[in-house]
Amino acid sequence: MPMNRRNFIKLVGVATGVGLVGVPYISSAAEIMPNKGRRVVVVGGGSGGAIVAKYLRMADPSIEVVLIEREKNYIACPLSNLVLAGLRTLEENTITLGGLAAKHGIKLVYDDVTAVDPVAKQVMVSAGAISYDRLVLSPGVDYRFEEIEGYDMAKTPEIMPHAWKAGPQTLLLKNQLAQMKDGGTVVMTIPQAPYRCPPGPYERISMIALYLQRNKPKSKIIVWDANETIVAKAALFKKGWAKHYGYDDKDSTKGIIEYHGNSKLAKVDVAAMTVDNGVEMLKGDVINVIPPQRASAIAQQAGAVNPDKRWCPVNQITFESTLVKDIHVIGDACIAGALPKSTYAANSEAKVCALNIARAMNGKELIAPSHVNVCYSYLTDKEAVSVSGIYKEAEGKTIAIPNSGGLSPDLSELEAVYARSWMQNILAEMTT
Ligand SMILES: Cc1cc2nc3c(=O)[nH]c(=O)nc-3n(C[C@H](O)[C@H](O)[C@H](O)COP(=O)(O)OP(=O)(O)OC[C@H]3O[C@@H](n4cnc5c(N)ncnc54)[C@H](O)[C@@H]3O)c2cc1C
């Protein structure tokens, strides 16, 4: 349904009548509305949203910033794969936004944004409409589950967890591994890129292999990757798997990890616990299906997603949608050229976006962006690897500056220390 004003009213007409009593607000709706000055509304208080809200207030404290997040506790994904091997707890990845909001004068609303009206410049929450001068969407990803035959978005993840949003799904997968018999088979399927966190699946393979080696040594993990080969840090992952888990690139059936590229999941059967790629069928005791992904639903509803219904095209300097005026999209949901879909990138995009929104609202010249990204991956309890890059805008595209980054030379204990330290900094930046 195209989102014009009439359709928006049809969609939200009932909700606008809801009273203000008892709605889960920190700031009451009366405080938030009406819009008396210049207001930016941010939807999603994750890696991108929390940072854009904070940096907008730092760039210009006269701009009112309203941050809307549906979850009271934000559970960050980086290092959540370590939970599967018992090397970290989800509590260590969990933050709340109250301190950040109080310190920077951000109006924090805990609610679900159910609609965006780009014509009236309003978003809908349970108590009514909140108007904006500019809107920033950082809502993360949802799944293109309809591309997998037999996949039911409500039921399948309860049997075959994706664990691609850290939280109960991570714990479900961890518990399934704990309950599996020694000698069992774990099956993992990886979607075609682009998806959230390019090296994430391969870190997960490593963490599951570590868990099996230590606890269920007769077991193995079989991986079907829709991509031709490992999407990120391929040589380092293969080296680490060979060193620690008996991986043989010429015959991967030998070790704990059996990896197959060019193997795209077509069908699941939760009753039979099988997956099918159109050529062969595989049975697993534990099945981790990571579905193909798209920008989260609210970006679609706002009209900011490309006709292929996947990601949001944006101006690479301002992160303003090229499809909808005054709506900016950052983080995993947007197309940011060579930048990967990572927390580090979302954090970097948020800062550029905040600064350029503040400058545009004050009639100042925009700044040319420069971004940094580093992605760490654990391969064992002690060793990790990393890939880094520096990016700039060139002729409307975000490109990696040649020779600006690269891979860590080898697996190393120091990289693992850097990874934990980076995570501590990222979470500190989101909470202070
Ligand atoms: C297993 C795994 C490991 C990873 N490891 C790393 C790593 O090591 N390093 C790294 O840099 N990245 C890593 N990532 C990627 C990283 O988690 C994402 O790239 C990052 O979280 C993207 O930030 P975002 O702001 O786009 O989305 P998110 O951080 O997911 O935030 C989106 C927020 O929006 C909220 N939201 C969505 N819709 C609405 C709505 N309608 N109303 C209100 N709120 C809404 C959600 O509740 C959520 O809190 C990993 C990801 C996974 C899955």
- Is residue 301 in some structural domain? yes
* Stated length of the chain: 432
Place of tokens 């090397």: 87
- Is residue 119 in some structural domain? yes
- Is residue 243 in some structural domain? yes
Domain end point (choices 322, 346, 366): 366
Residue nearest to atom 45 of ligand 1 (CA): 44
Structural domain for 339, as ranges: 5-142+294-366
Helices (H), 141-233: 156-159, 168-179, 200-215
- Is residue 405 in some structural domain? no
Q: 305 and 248 in one domain?
A: no
Q: For residue 48, which atom of ligand 1 is closest to its CA?
A: 25
Q: How far apart are CA 364 and CA 355, in angstroms?
A: 10
What's the pTM? 0.93
Q: For residue 204, which atom of ligand 1 is closest to its CA?
A: 1
List of long-range contacts for 254-259, beta carbons under 8 Å, 24+ apart: 255/220, 256/209, 256/212, 256/213, 256/219, 256/220, 256/221, 257/205, 257/209, 257/220, 257/221, 257/223, 258/220, 258/221, 258/222, 258/223, 259/205, 259/223, 259/225, 259/230
Residues with beta carbon inside 6 Å of ligand 1?
43-49, 68-71, 74, 77-78, 80-81, 112-113, 138-140, 164, 196-197, 200, 296, 298, 331-333, 341-344, 346, 375-376
pLDDT in tens, 144-181: 999 999 999 999 999 999 999 999 999 999 999 999 99
Q: Is there a contact between 268 and 151 (Cβ–Cβ < 8 Å)?
A: yes
Q: 20 and 125 in one domain?
A: yes
Q: For residue 125, which atom of ligand 1 is closest to its CA?
A: 42
For a substitution probing ligand 1, which of 67, 111, 343, 430 has the most ligand atoms within 8 Å of its CB?
Answer: 343
Structure tokens at 393: 């805008």
Q: For residue 78, which atom of ligand 1 is closest to its CA?
A: 5
Q: 124 and 28 in one domain?
A: yes
For a substitution probing ligand 1, which of 136, 143, 342 has the most ligand atoms within 8 Å of its CB?
Answer: 342
Domain end point (choices 336, 351, 366): 366
Burial of 321 (C-beta count, 10 Å sphere; 0-12/13-18/19+):
buried
Q: 255 and 225 in one domain?
A: yes
Structure tokens at 74: 């934000």
CATH number of the domain where residue 95 is located:
3.50.50.60
| CA 214 to each of CA 6, 86, 209, 244: distance values in angstroms, whole numbers, following the listed order | 60, 11, 9, 12
Q: What is the DSSP letter of 409?
A: S
Rounding to the nearest 10 degrees, give the CA dihedral for residues 361, 115, 96, 171. -140
pLDDT in tens, 226-253: 999 999 999 999 999 999 999 999 998 9
Please give the tally of structural domains in the chain.
2
Q: 279 and 195 in one domain?
A: yes
Residue at 64: amino acid letter = E
- Is residue 334 in some structural domain? yes
pLDDT in tens, 97-112: 999 999 999 999 999 9
pLDDT in tens, 21-61: 333 333 444 445 567 789 999 999 999 999 999 999 999 99
Phi, psi (deg, nearest 5) at residue 374: -135, 130
Q: 86 and 176 in one domain?
A: no
Q: 316 and 198 in one domain?
A: no
pLDDT in tens, 69-123: 999 999 999 999 999 999 999 999 999 999 999 999 999 999 999 999 999 999 9
Domain end point (choices 269, 291, 313): 291
Rounding to the nearest 10 degrees, give the CA dihedral for residues 25, 27, 33, 38. -130
